[in-house]
């Protein structure tokens, strides 16, 4: 019979980057073996552990639930997650940043631009600008901070085979006086293909490791286009709805934790369906149900207007009014009318 390596030997062969290893070893109860398990489970820093539940941590890493509970408590103590007053929360909120959409009307609607630490959903039928906006954000996030950007990189998870580098270059042309190296603009956008819902879940779980590989210029934006595409295709009929929503909820929960732990803006276009029972009003509804609605920090409804105009309506926000903005889709991307 062949000699199989035991689990400890397999773990010993995994190389954890030194800075990540040292960060994890600061947590009480974490030795090198457990640090490797945490890394394999895509927990690469204390904050990602602090915002996880013990059950989730145990399931993702294979660590016992009692040990996972101690690790989570220790990480929360180190990250100083505790009760605080509203003034302290206001100071924490000031660490969040915003970057421009490239359209003044949309920036104004969003209270100054796309906010980090948030999940932003944009839903609408085809040709309303969902993918266009996602691609444009991959460019504007690279702008210097004094020009409205975050001087960061973007991660684009492509579920619909809609990403086109040629479109990036068309949008870049508008910013070529600021972002002079067009090849570098393309290199600052990391692409991942997701071929089914299980692969999408895996790709989302791998985001922390991707982030650690790009510390020279941090990833500040994640785009998932579109987040419901595979779930909608693979789970058909009412009998599969509960299973679909449970798996979708897990993906959204992980994205929410990632946005907080890494101060990311996460933008995901969403598809719509028509409600035949609706007699009056707009029959188009975003798919994903209440789970999607509750998870999104900001919800934007995009619809077509006359000529080349599009209308964006901010339909949900924790702090902004429901308001509309008009924009154009041109050769250089999304612009003011």
94, burial (CB in 10 Å: exposed 0-12, middle 13-18, buried 19+)? exposed
Domain annotation for the chain: domains and CATH numbers: 7-78 (1.10.150.20), 93-336 (3.40.50.300)
Per-residue pLDDT band for 187 (boundaries 50, 70, 90) equals very high
Residue by residue, DSSP assigns 216-251 as TS-EEEEEEETTTHHHHHH--SGGGHHHHHHHHHHH
Complete DSSP assignment for 292-326:
HHHH-SEEEEEEE-STTEEEEEEEE-SSS--EEEE
**pLDDT tens for residues 257-313?**
899 889 999 999 999 887 766 666 677 888 888 999 999 999 999 999 988 899 999
Three-class SS state of 330: strand
* Confidence at residue 14, expressed as pLDDT on a 0 to 100 scale: 67
The pTM of the full predicted model, rounded to 2 decimals, is: 0.85
What pLDDT is stored for residue 93 in this prediction? 82
What is the per-residue pLDDT for 4? 46
CB count in 10 Å sphere of residue 278? 11
Q: What is the DSSP secondary-structure string of 71-135? A: HHHHHHHHTT-----HHHHHHHHTT--EE--S-HHHHHHTTSSEETTEEEEEE-STTSSHHHHHH
pLDDT tens, residue by residue, 68-119:
999 999 999 888 877 888 988 888 888 889 999 999 999 999 999 999 999 9
């Amino acid at each position: 019979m062949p000699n199989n390596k035991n689990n400890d030997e397999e773990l010993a062969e995994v190389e954890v980057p030194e800075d990540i290893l040292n960060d994890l070893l600061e947590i009480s109860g974490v030795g090198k073996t457990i640090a490797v398990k945490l890394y394999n489970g895509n927990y690469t820093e204390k904050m990602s552990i602090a915002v996880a539940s013990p059950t989730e941590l145990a399931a993702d890493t294979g660590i016992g639930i009692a040990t996972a509970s101690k690790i989570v408590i220790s990480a929360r103590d180190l990250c100083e997650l505790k009760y605080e007053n509203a003034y302290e929360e206001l100071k924490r909120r000031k660490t969040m940043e915003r970057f421009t959409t490239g359209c003044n009307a949309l920036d104004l609607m969003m209270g100054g631009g796309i906010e980090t630490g948030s999940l932003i959903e944009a839903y609408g039928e085809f040709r309303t600008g969902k993918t266009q906006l996602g691609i444009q954000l991959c460019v504007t996030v690279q702008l210097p901070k004094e020009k409205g950007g975050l001087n960061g990189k973007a991660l684009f998870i492509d579920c619909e085979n809609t990403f086109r580098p040629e479109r990036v270059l068309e949008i870049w042309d508008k910013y070529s006086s600021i972002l002079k190296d067009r090849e570098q603009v393309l290199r600052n956008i990391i692409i991942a293909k997701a071929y089914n819902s299980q692969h999408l879940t895996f790709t989302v779980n791998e985001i922390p490791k991707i982030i650690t590989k790009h510390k020279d210029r941090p990833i500040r934006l994640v785009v998932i286009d579109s987040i419901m595409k595979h779930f909608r295709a693979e789970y058909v009929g009412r009998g599969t709805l509960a299973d679909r929503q449970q798996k979708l909820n897990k993906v959204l929960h992980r994205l929410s934790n990632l946005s907080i732990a890494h101060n990311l803006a996460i933008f995901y276009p969403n598809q719509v369906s028509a409600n035949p029972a609706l007699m009056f009003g707009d029959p188009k509804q975003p798919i994903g149900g209440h789970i999607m609605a509750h998870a999104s920090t900001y919800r934007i409804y995009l619809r077509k207007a006359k000529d080349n105009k599009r209308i964006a309506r901010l339909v949900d926000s924790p702090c902004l009014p429901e308001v509309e903005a008009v924009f154009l889709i041109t050769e250089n991307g999304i612009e003011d009318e």
